[in-house]
Amino acid sequence: MSETEKVEVSADGQKETEHSSVFAAPTSGPAEEYTIVHTGKPKGKPKKWVEEEDDLPLVDHTAPLAKNSKKTKRLLKQQQKRQQKAASKVRNFLELPAELLQEILGYLRPTDIIRLSQLNHATKDFIQEQEGAIAKDIIHRRYWVLRRCLPLPVYFEQVDQASKAALLNPSWQEKTAINRKPYQHIKTIDPENVCSCPSCLLAWNNLNVVLDLAHFQWNLNHREPIPMIARGTNPDWNIELTDQHARIVQKAMDSPLAYAALLQTHLNTITGTLLRQTRPAGMAQKQPLHRHNKRAVPLPAKTVHPNLLYYLTEHDAMQEDDAFLEREGKPSYEFPFHRDNYYNLLAYVPNRKWNKEEQRWVYYAQGFHERDLGWIRERFAPDLASTAPPTGGEDAVSAPFVARFAGNLKT
């Protein structure tokens, strides 16, 4: 026996199920009765209704998965190696491009380059390889004026054979003895080592004087007298000093960087001498006075000259270049043949004159070496010496000098 299940729907829409009893008549034995109860709740979890909001922006929270596989790590390592090879790994300045490094070194002073070359062998090799280009940039940027005023002499071996024979002619050597006379502060030039034409003789003397003047700057700054040498004597200290200056000049003839350092030394001498007129006396006495100088009171202040040569200022000196020498000033026509001339020498800048019409300096040291050699070959060549007309004493030597300086002194 069974009952039919009756389901009704209430007014609120929920289903209501009536209880029904089911009787099952077994085939044998007493009948069993059981009841089926319906709760009326839906099966499963109730659904949550979420209202959609169209105004809220969508945010992407997806993230890449972690790469922990061996293959991924190997590929990532290879990619990093390729990127390191492509990227620049500059660990010191020598790994920079040669053109860039040369441009950087061209802004330094010559003494700075010399100190830098002592850093290590690699730096020394690079500087020696690029020495000419570096020194050219430094001289062009800092010592443009002094380079034209203090040219280098030429080695005798660099002269052609015809000029060599004429320069070693005893007649020419005898006539140039007046220009090669042994100055106390200049070593006599060796005609078999350095060209003995008039231009090279003047260049040799000027460079040696520049070094000798720089050597006695301490005496001039501290108002100490320069040691004088008795006539007819040459003490050992003076022989050693002049030999040292001659070696420096020959080093400058071999090394462009040494030549730039020589010009730097002379520029420091000029600025120190000119500013010595305006600086207080105490600034030059940082070191103790000489033991024979028994001054109990400080030196009086110096009288400032109203017209400082080249209108030099402390700012010009700090620039460490010779641009101020392009201003109007006094020309250096007189050669300091003795150390006594150092006391009144303000700025020794030879081989130029001031053009009043154009208001600029005219430099005339360049080009005279070849002209002098041509003049000497015409008159003192061995094959022409016997046929050349006799010359009168000093006229053979003074002719090129008189013609040259007469034209230079014209304004």
For 44-65, how does the pLDDT look when each residue is reduced to its tens digit (9 = 90+)? 666 555 555 566 777 877 877 7
Considering only CA atoms, which of 202, 207, 196 is closest in space to residue 401? 202
Do both 192 and 323 map to the same domain? Answer: yes
Structure confidence by residue, pLDDT tens digits, 362-405: 998 788 899 999 999 998 988 654 444 444 444 444 455 445 54
Do both 222 and 341 map to the same domain? Answer: yes
> Domain residues for 31?
7-36
Phi, psi of 259 (to 5 degrees): -65, -40
Q: Which long-range contacts (CB under 8 A, 24 or more apart) does 127-134 make?
A: 127/257, 130/98, 130/102, 130/105, 131/255, 131/256, 131/257, 132/256, 133/102, 134/102, 134/105, 134/106, 134/257
In a domain, 179, yes or no: yes
Q: What is the mean pLDDT of the chain?
A: 79
3-state secondary structure of 353: strand
Amino acid, single-letter form, for residue 399: A
Q: Which of 28-32, 237-241, 355-359, 399-403 has the lowest average pLDDT?
A: 399-403
Q: Which of 55-64, 103-112, 159-168 has the lowest average pLDDT?
A: 55-64
In a domain, 203, yes or no: yes
Which residues are CB-neighbours of 360 under 8 A, at least 6 positions away?
A: 326, 354
Query: What was the pLDDT predicted at 38?
Result: 61
In a domain, 62, yes or no: no
What's the total number of domains in the chain? 2
CA-to-CA separations, 123 to 120, 126, 131, 347, in angstroms, rounded: 6, 5, 12, 36
Do both 27 and 164 map to the same domain? Answer: no
Which range scores top for mean pLDDT: 74-78, 94-98, 213-217, 360-364? Answer: 213-217
As a dihedral over the C-alpha atoms of residue 207, residue 211, residue 213, residue 215, rounded to 10 degrees, the angle is: -170
Query: What was the pLDDT predicted at 353?
Result: 93
Query: What was the pLDDT predicted at 181?
Result: 67
Contact in structure between 232 and 184 (CB atoms under 8 Å)? no
Query: What was the pLDDT predicted at 309?
Result: 84
In a domain, 106, yes or no: no
Residue 320's pLDDT band (cuts 50, 70, 90) = very high
pTM of the prediction? 0.69
Contact in structure between 60 and 48 (CB atoms under 8 Å)? no
Query: What was the pLDDT predicted at 128?
Result: 93
For residue 144, pLDDT over 90 is answered with yes
Higher-confidence residue: 266 or 310?
266
In a domain, 104, yes or no: no
In a domain, 220, yes or no: yes
Considering only CA atoms, which of 180, 186, 146, 187 is closest in space to residue 348? 146
Structure confidence by residue, pLDDT tens digits, 178-215: 665 678 999 999 999 999 999 999 999 999 999 999 99
Q: Report the share of the chain in percent with pLDDT over 90.
A: 48
CA-to-CA separations, 95 to 9, 98, 113, 243, in angstroms, rounded: 93, 8, 18, 41
Query: What was the pLDDT predicted at 284?
Result: 46
Contact in structure between 188 and 249 (CB atoms under 8 Å)? no
Higher-confidence residue: 263 or 38?
263
Phi, psi of 145 (to 5 degrees): -80, -50
In a domain, 240, yes or no: yes
In a domain, 74, yes or no: no
Please give the Cα distance from 69 to 73 (Å, whole number). 6
Do both 28 and 171 map to the same domain? Answer: no
